[in-house]
Structure 1
Amino acid sequence: MSITVIRPGLASTFQDCGRHGHQHLGVPVGGAMDLRAHQLANLIAGNEHDHATLEITLMGPTLRFDAPTCIALTGADLSPTVNGLTVPLGRPLIMHAGDILSFGERRNGVRCYLAWHGGIALPSLLGSQSTYLRGALGGFQGRTLRKEDVLPLNLSLRANTLETLEESLDRMSIYLPSTLANNPRTHLRVMRGPHTELFTQEAVHALFNSPYVITNESDRMGFRLQGQALPVRENRQLLSEGATFGSIQVPADGLPIVLMADRQSIGGYPKIGHVATVDLPQLAQCMPGEAVRFEEISLAQAQQLDNLREQALGRLRTSLAGLRELIARCVANPAP
């Protein structure tokens, strides 16, 4: 029960919802950059829990499936094919032993997520299977995939059930609630930060009224933005505090940095704002060179948006109970 890496792609790592509760020890949270796509891939592959998915960046790998399984692809459209035939995103796909999954040109987005039923058989480190590359922690040996890696699966499907299962899944409709659909916004929603009052009125106006371009010096740790500088009223020494996904910190040069999944555990730069959690998936799918704009919302509005997203995930999980049951009945040697 395994998958063999024929070509590794540009930067393919295993990620889940992150390594929470250890920032006081200097361990970053990490996890999937696009949590929406990660969670959807798991649900559509028939998983009820947070299994690690393969986060595929820009150039996808080529993988040979050595055992039958059910997979799902979500997030960026990197032209996936199975045995040379185009396959859709957002649908359960049955993979037979010997099938080859490949990727081609980028059509949109940056990060594609691959989930398989039952997840990958990797050790959990501090409660997570996420890969933290800077610390060589978690995931598959703490690194990106390499040629000839063998990825062990937790579960496989019985070969004699695949035809019937595939027909049943093809007939099944999957309806995404509007709050989970990929509907890009012209402006990312931002709350004022804990240090907004330290910035000039001109800086706050610029943040919400000027475009900012994602620079090439952007990665899973943070997105550096180029645009109008955001000066503070006066230089002031700040105590370091916990860093959060989406915080917009401003170093001495006045050019903002949006902290992303692999952000440092603490930071002392002033934070002018915070990108709403529901809009972080869209930001995570942006390329260097693309421009982003921000609009202001309140904390109460951001919390309401987050609650609506969680409710939508719950409804989708409930609606896919039949899919999970279909796949579970086809698992080879299921756990007692």
Structure 2
Amino acid sequence: MIEVLSSSALATVQDHGREGYLRYGVGTAGAMDRLALAVGNLLLGNPDDAAAIEIPMFPFRIRFLDDLDFAITGADCTARLGDKDVLPWWTTHAQKGDVLTIGVPANGTRCYLSLAGGVDVPVVLGSRSTQLRGQFGGYEGRQLHKGDVLKAIGFKPGGGRDAAARRAGFGMVPPEHALPAPVATPCAEAGETVVRVLTAAEYDCYAPKSIEAFWSEGWKVTPQSDRYGYRLEGPTLTPTHHIEKRSHGIVPGVIQVPHNGQPIIQLRDAQPSGGYPKIGTVIEADLWRLAQARIGTKIRFVRTTYPDAVAALEELDGYLERVRHLVDLVRPSRH
């Protein structure tokens, strides 16, 4: 078990998300950076659908109430277990009473604290993810507060790996160093997040200058951004004619353009329908990159094709398979 020591950290319990309920008006929720969550679970030998703690504000502190293995993935955070440094993307063993402090990340914006076996909260509509708008799932349907106590599903008193393996630990190369980054034209500036985009239904309804700006400009992530969506700031996107749409289904990654001409990228907590015109969609394989874009930085879009989007997803799946293979070499019997 762990006890949360931080106040107002906006941390929530998330797994891979709530699939199959969009037609009922229930959004997906789930980890913004699914890749970081997946690697954390693989490192610990957890089930693929195990839940972790998504942390978007720092510092974040917890106390271990039992001996427990954990891993930190996602944003490049500095972390300390008591007075010892903790490596990111690495398994670590904590002893009862240890305090873990996760500091402000040098890069990225969200990290994931995975516990051996996963965070033990009720499954609601097939997922342990927190749905903040509906106030269900996760830990009582809300953000974590100081004093909350969470149990790890896989905790067994006296169980786990042998002491030597616990002391050594093991880890993986982060995906940003293992996967090729999309290339922007013109070249992206330092600190910009580059993501690949498929054109959407109303793409051809925008003026040529707006289309050119959409691809060539960096779009600033404004402070009004959150898990529901990134509100961007840049050149005004102007349609060639008035566009009026009935509400229709949307998914995470869809780029909508409201009347002010400033795009909104729908994210994990977005509503499952909307009426704004759609100019593009960030491909699924790049949503993890998008999740780590910081407020005040810029996002740059790269046009891609459906076959290339499928190939990018296969490349991501290949990375996870390599991680799984390496973990199995170190941990032949996963708990």
> What TM-score, normalized by structure 2, do the two folds share?
0.90
Matched residue, 2:232: 225
Matched residue, 1:280: 287
Question: Does structure 1 conserve the Cα–Cα contact (< 8 Å) formed by 2:41 and 2:48?
Answer: yes
| Greater alpha carbon shift after TM alignment, 152-161 vs 96-105 | 152-161
Matched residue, 2:16: 17
What SS does the corresponding residue of 2:120 show, helix, strand or coil?
Answer: coil
Give 1:175 deviation, angstroms: 5.3
Give a deviation string over 1:59-83, Cα, whole Å, max 9, x none: 1421111111211101112321101
Cα distance in 1 between the residues matched to 2:314 and 2:77: 30
Q: In structure 2, what residue type is equivalent to 1:289?
A: G
RMSD: 2.1
What SS does the corresponding residue of 1:316 show, helix, strand or coil?
Answer: helix
Matched residue, 1:68: 67
Matched residue, 2:146: 147
297, 301, 305: which one pairs with 1:298? 305
The 1:215–1:145 alpha-carbon spacing in structure 2 relative to 1, beyond 3 Å, is same
| Greater alpha carbon shift after TM alignment, 57-66 vs 112-121 | 57-66
Give 1:176 deviation, angstroms: 6.1
Q: In structure 2, what residue type is equivalent to 1:72?
A: A
Matched residue, 2:165: 165
Which sections of structure 1, spanning at least 5 residues, go unmatched? Answer: 329-336
Give 1:148 deviation, angstroms: 1.1
The 1:232–1:177 alpha-carbon spacing in structure 2 relative to 1, beyond 3 Å, is closer
The 1:287–1:177 alpha-carbon spacing in structure 2 relative to 1, beyond 3 Å, is closer
Cα distance in 2 between the residues matched to 1:303 and 1:150: 41
Q: In structure 2, what residue type is equivalent to 1:42?
A: N
243, 266, 284: which one pairs with 2:273? 266
Question: Does structure 1 conserve the Cα–Cα contact (< 8 Å) formed by 2:32 and 2:268?
Answer: yes
Matched residue, 1:333: none
Residues 1:321 and 2:320 are matched in the alignment: no
Alignment of 1:77-156 (within 5 A): 77-156=76-155
The 1:13–1:184 alpha-carbon spacing in structure 2 relative to 1, beyond 3 Å, is farther
Residues 1:194 and 2:193 are matched in the alignment: no
Question: Does structure 2 conserve the Cα–Cα contact (< 8 Å) formed by 1:222 and 1:259?
Answer: yes
What SS does the corresponding residue of 2:236 show, helix, strand or coil?
Answer: coil
Residues 1:238 and 2:238 are matched in the alignment: no
Cα distance in 1 between the residues matched to 2:332 and 2:6: 33
Question: Does structure 2 conserve the Cα–Cα contact (< 8 Å) formed by 1:72 and 1:115?
Answer: yes
Aligned length: 325
Give 1:253 deviation, angstroms: 0.9
> What TM-score, normalized by structure 1, do the two folds share?
0.90
Give 1:125 deviation, angstroms: 0.4
Residues 1:307 and 2:314 are matched in the alignment: yes
The 1:60–1:39 alpha-carbon spacing in structure 2 relative to 1, beyond 3 Å, is farther
Which sections of structure 2, spanning at least 5 residues, go unmatched? Answer: 189-193
What SS does the corresponding residue of 2:133 show, helix, strand or coil?
Answer: helix
Cα distance in 2 between the residues matched to 1:237 and 1:134: 27
Identity rate, percent: 33
Q: In structure 1, what residue type is equivalent to 2:196?
A: R
Q: In structure 2, what residue type is equivalent to 1:35?
A: R
| Greater alpha carbon shift after TM alignment, 28-37 vs 309-318 | 309-318
What SS does the corresponding residue of 1:75 show, helix, strand or coil?
Answer: strand
Q: In structure 1, what residue type is equivalent to 2:19?
A: H
